[in-house]
Amino acid sequence: MTGQTPEDPSTRHDIYGLLCPGRAIFELLVNKWTGLAVTALEDGPRRFGELRRQLEGVSPKVLTRTLRRLEDHGLVTRTVHAEVPPRVEYALTDLGRGALEPLAHLRTWIRANTGRFTAAR
């Protein structure tokens, strides 16, 4: 296979990844911190510190990256208020609010099947 690199799509064996435009969205939403951050914003805008306290265990770096990805994908807005000191709030967009229902279904399914997963191990 001369001339092909690992980044060359023709060398990939993951047909689902090549043909499914929704895969990137799925991977974004099922990321550990993404789902938790979206759920944490369900009741309204939150400041970074509030989110960090609510999402125990997340580092500032990972939370910043997660919020940026959510903003880049149109799920979250970041509003900087012109105050001293500056106040920044994160809130769900309509698109982000739309993700709450499927995430809730996934959480319900996980809770209902946790025992089966434990037993299978």
Largest CA distance in the chain: 60
pLDDT of residue 2: 45
Check residues 30 and 119 and name the one with the higher pLDDT. Answer: 119
- State the residue for tokens 């939370």: 63
- Which residues, listed in sequence order, are joined to residue 73 by a DSSP beta bridge? none
CA distance 5 to 120: 39
According to CATH, the topology of domain 21-120 is Arc Repressor Mutant, subunit A (1.10.10)
pLDDT in tens, 14-52: 666 667 778 888 888 888 899 999 999 999 999 999 999
pLDDT of residue 50: 96
CA distance 75 to 21: 17
Contacts of 74 (CB under 8 A, 6+ apart): 93, 95, 96
pLDDT in tens, 51-81: 999 999 999 999 999 999 999 999 999 999 9
